[in-house]
Amino acid sequence: MLLKCPECQLQVSDKAAECPHCGYPMKPEAIKRKPRKKNNKRRSLPNGFGQISEIKNRNLRNPFRAMITVGKTETGRPICKPLKPVAYFPTYNDAYAALVAYNKNPYDLDSCMTAEELYEKWTNEYFNKISDSHQNTIKWSWKHCTELHHMLVIDIRARHIKGCIDNTPNPNLKNQIKSLWNAMLDYALEYELVDRNYARTFKLSEDIFKDIHNIRKEHIPFTDEEINILWSHIKDTPYVDMLLIQCYSGWRPQELCLLEIKNVDLENMTFTGGVKTKAGKKRLVPIHSRIAKLVENNYNKALDLNSDYLFNYINSGRHKSDIKFTHARYQTELTKICKKLGLNLEHRPHDGRVHFVTSAKKYDVDEYAIKYMVGHSISDITEKIYTKRETQWLKNEIEKIK
């Protein structure tokens, strides 16, 4: 049923509480609708501003995490990283205020990297270039710097590094810690994470180097009697052949372990390898006639094992896939050899290389031939640049060794 509005004289439904045309109350006694409840849902943050998430179901003092948008994936989804140096806050408003402050003055998040994060990033690249033993040295040094692990890299100064060095009584470890920070902060400087390498602003004292020299053991060449004992036990003592090959070729222990069969030329009796220095890498060494058969035997064993390496670590109880020779394994086997055959127990993996150089000088091998074969740098410009040596010359020189 339609009624006339007393105000505007237009027709209005008798069920209307007010005139839809002018708003005149047709039923003043009608109960007004209750106001809607306030929506407490937070508004979405602007694109690129960042994200705030609440970690629920855990009793945390700072449950709100602030994330910074650093880019987008190929599908357009945002890539986020935690805000640094602080990413967790007690309330939403605190996290929001931190994002507002960041967006007013954005900064490189990597500049707030901790020493521990830098170490992880650096070692992921650096460990691919160095030996297992060198990696272990770095890991051991890092363990003695625990007070710096959670410091921001930009806050680390010379006094902090000196504190780690002073806290250890071992002079070798002092030097290793210094070298560790030299290399780590060089990396940080290269990637503009810091503007100065404070590890290189100071030097270790002369007393430390004197202590290092005093405790350092000299390498011991094998005696003629020891070499004869080794030759007599090739068949009954594992890895004696590997040690003799080192004594007649001068490879560093790690170089010996990494010799690949593709670089062993049995036709021309040479092998190529080397690590560590520019002069030492990819160097050619003639295979001495006394070890030719030993090299050939190991070459054939490697083919049977389908291994890329000339020397392989075969031990009972060890998984067949775990046959790679390492410096540590070579040291273990050398110790066993010395104990079993009654050799000097002070011998170390580098002694085979020292024996080669000592024997070469004893039998008047040319000085430059020795340097070429062991991978030492040559300072003489004429010899280094203008003199081209033939492989046959190196073969003739190495055969002087008896």
Give the tens place of pLDDT for each residue, 251-306: 999 899 999 999 999 999 999 988 766 655 788 999 999 999 999 999 999 999 89
Give the tens place of pLDDT for each residue, 122-160: 999 898 888 777 888 899 999 999 999 999 888 899 999
Residue 79 pLDDT grade (very low, low, confident, very high; cuts 50, 70, 90): confident
pLDDT, average across residues 152-169: 91
Q: Flag whether pLDDT at 40 surpasses 70.
A: no
Token pair listed for 396: 């003739």
pLDDT, average across residues 222-229: 94
Give me the phi and psi of 93, to 5 degrees please. Answer: -65, -35
pLDDT, average across residues 319-346: 87
Token pair listed for 191: 């990637």
Report yes or no: 208 and 175 within 8 Å, Cβ to Cβ.
yes
Give the residue, 315 or 80, on which the prediction is more confident.
80
Closest to 355 measured CA to CA, from 257, 227, 221, 265? 221
Residue 322 pLDDT grade (very low, low, confident, very high; cuts 50, 70, 90): confident
> According to the model, what pLDDT value does residue 320 have?
58
Return d(Cα 235, Cα 34) in angstroms, integer.
Answer: 100
DSSP string, 256-302: HHT-BGGGEETTTTEEEE--SSTTTTTEEEE--TTTHHHHHHHHHHH
Residue 386 pLDDT grade (very low, low, confident, very high; cuts 50, 70, 90): very low
- Chain center to CA of 183: 11
Q: Where does residue 217 fall: left (phi above 0), alpha (psi -120 to 50 degrees), or beta otherwise?
A: beta
> According to the model, what pLDDT value does residue 152 have?
87
Report yes or no: 222 and 234 within 8 Å, Cβ to Cβ.
no
DSSP string, 202-238: ----HHHHHHHHHHPPPP-PPPHHHHHHHHHTTTTST
Q: Which residues pair with 284 in a beta bridge?
A: 272
Return d(Cα 216, Cα 224) in angstroms, integer.
Answer: 25
> According to the model, what pLDDT value does residue 352 have?
93
Give the residue, 363 or 25, on which the prediction is more confident.
363
